[in-house]
Structure 1
Amino acid sequence: MVDSPLVRPDGRVVAVVVAFNRRDLLQDALDALATQTRPLDAILVVDNASTDDSAQVARNHPAAPVVVTLERNTGGAGGFAAGLAHAVASLGADGVWLMDDDTIPTPTALAELLAAWATHPAPVDAAGSRVVWTDGRDHPMNTPRSRPGASRAALAAARRAGVVPVRSTSFVSMLVSADAVRTHGLPVADYFIWNDDFEYSCRLLRDGTGLHVPASVVEHRTKTFGATDADPGDRFYFEVRNKIWMFTRSRALGGGERLLYGASTLRRWARTVARSQARGVLLRAGGRGLRDGVLRRPRPTSEVLAGLSLASDVVVLDRSVR
């Protein structure tokens, strides 16, 4: 077995929960983290300038999480970037377990991720859980992408470990090696929402090892069951802009992958518009996203988060290149 920071018995795992105006769900998420069969070494709640009492709920929780409130809402992308940076640079994490405040892990979710990590013969950069909705169905919003072209040896090793090799995974329960963060940097905070986990996990796993661990289960308590292409309204702007940024500005994908995922994205956009009850809204939002995706490029994460809490940790780990 390959020695890895998360395999060692003394490996330190920090959960990072990004919270925004969902205090009841945050309470449930923290309750679930407090009852993990493999106890966490620390829990960090990054409050994205909530206007409810999410930060106070976290501070009052018996799990005693570290709570940091950002001075403005930086979206999921900024929250995860700041949280990852603080967990690795200041909290001494060997592994960082990422999730939103509507992610409710089952009691063995972390233990199963770590067991798969320890069993796999190659060093692992990231591992993700099986994500279900409130009724137990697999959630279509958080489907990992299997690794195309995986060798027979890699597939056999994965089967023995009870996992699936993947090319990308979701921030709804994603365990990341601190070494991978030091090498590849942080999520692109300028994405704000959507595709930040797709870009980041693809960047980590372009030459690294990623696992989908079906035995590790978390519940994603979204309001409705469905993927992000279910009539997203004005948020379609972020889908279009960020995908263009990823395909043209990121080192996460190779040339063939850009064509493969680009074609898939165009088909998905066409389905989204065709099914929409507000096509004009989507077309206008998509048009703005197309314009900004082509004419602009994402700013370095340290620039986006400058002046906020945890900014000094972000500077340490930011690998953004203009």
Structure 2
Amino acid sequence: MSIQLTSLTKNYNEQIAVNSISFEARRGEIVGFLGPNGAGKSTTMKILTGFVKPSSGLVTVCDINVVENPIEVQKKIGYLPEHNPLYLDMYIREYLQFHASIHKVEKNKIDYTIEKVGLLPEVHKRIKQLSKGYRQRVGLAAAILHNPEVLILDEPTTGLDPNQLVEIRQLIKELGKDKTVLLSTHIMQEVEAICDRVIIINKGKLVVDKSLEELKSGEKQVIEVTFDYKLEEQFIKRLPNICGFKNTIENNWILEFETTKDMRPVIFDFAHDNGLKILGLNKENKNLEKLFQELTK
């Protein structure tokens, strides 16, 4: 198992940052690691990389105990922290040569990595001359230079323009084919575009650990409809697949359906059969973003 956490807990004096969470991740899997600010994501990632010691619990990376052998674990990990630390006065190639010397990586890997992350157009510059997006690429290049088995990426797409987003997304997906990738982000579209699985933590506790496919299959359809006449609840309950409803104001209803079938034609037929007119109709799916909001608000 590439990553395995068992009952991981981290306390800072009286504050519980991570509260007995357990999960695992395998090779070839890209896992979205989500949660609001202060949920414990960065603390968990720092524990995985050996920068912070857990208060209790077992943490292994590639079957190596993180507490007992942090240096061996760090050889297996490529880490891009949220606040990407760089030596700004260095040139890009110089900075990567520095990392290559630490990991004892052959110099020919530097050119390969520079090209892989799209740094060639800027390679002649010092890091301080780069945009935020290109600085992120330098950090990602340093993380993958030694070809680690596990990649831990904390907000890797911060500061990227739309074109760069597509390129880095594709790169992460490619890297995820033969590595384990743990990806933290606040951008739900990134998770839906990249990840195979989603883990959500809130206030230090694990609240969701499911494949993206499972989450999507469980999406609920929400339709807001306004009729020309006020209905009683008993009529709304007759709608097929309805699992929730709320009468907001007068003739306006928020209807929730547990089905992937588009329920708007059904509502039109329902209105026709009951002699009603529809004055307004709006549909939305309860996507990952809404699920996240419900679980963490």
Q: Provide TM-score, normalisation by structure 2.
A: 0.24
Higher strand share: 2
Counting helix residues as a fraction of each chain, which structure ranks higher? 1
Larger Rg: 2
TM-score normalized with structure 1 length: 0.22
